């Protein structure tokens, strides 16, 4: 399968920089998979799992929260505000994220409320899905 350039960066570090064959991106309006020669898309991210498929069927999964995906001719760039490899993800950390989200919801103004609520629900969903 043809590969393309993929970068995953968080404010603290560059987590992935290299060739990937397919990447599953949790977009705000739905998950989508990016393959080579994807049309240019810019989307924000919802909390979720990014699944990076490299050559020889090697898969890496990371938890991301907040940020943007930028698909252009040059490849895919994921700007995540938080990115944690799934192996390092623990119940406490996810619990902390959920607590943050709850606080955000409490602070949110009327029009932001829907977004914050969605985020919180999504996080809880994830926690159940990962069974941790």
Q: Tell me which of 18, 19, 33, 44 binds other proteins, using CB under 8 A.
A: 44
- Least gap, CB of 56 to other proteins (angstroms): 26
Listed in sequence order, the residues at least 6 apart from 86 whose beta carbon sits closer than 8 Å to its beta carbon are 49, 61, 62, 63, 130
Residue 10 binds other proteins, judged by CB under 8 A: yes
C-beta atoms surrounding 85 within 10 Å: 12
Q: Give the burial class of 106: count Cβ atoms within 10 A of its Cβ; 0-12 exposed, 13-18 middle, 19 or more buried.
A: exposed
Q: What CA–CA distance (Å, rounded) separates 31 from 60?
A: 16
Residue 18 binds other proteins, judged by CB under 8 A: no
- Least gap, CB of 98 to other proteins (angstroms): 16
Residue 72 binds other proteins, judged by CB under 8 A: yes
Q: Tell me which of 12, 87, 92, 128 binds other proteins, using CB under 8 A.
A: 12
Residue 90 binds other proteins, judged by CB under 8 A: no
């Amino acid at each position: 399968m043809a590969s393309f350039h993929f970068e995953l960066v968080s404010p603290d570090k560059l987590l992935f920089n290299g060739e990937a064959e397919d990447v599953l991106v949790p977009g705000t309006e739905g998950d989508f998979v990016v393959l080579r020669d994807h049309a240019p898309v810019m989307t924000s991210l919802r909390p979720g799992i990014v699944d990076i498929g490299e050559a020889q069927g090697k898969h890496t999964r990371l938890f991301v929260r907040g940020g943007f995906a930028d698909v252009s001719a040059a490849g895919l760039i994921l700007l995540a505000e938080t990115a944690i490899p799934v192996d390092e993800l623990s119940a406490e950390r996810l619990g902390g994220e959920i607590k943050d989200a709850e606080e955000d919801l409490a602070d949110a103004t009327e029009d932001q409320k829907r977004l914050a609520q969605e985020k919180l629900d999504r996080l809880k969903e994830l926690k159940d899905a990962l069974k941790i």
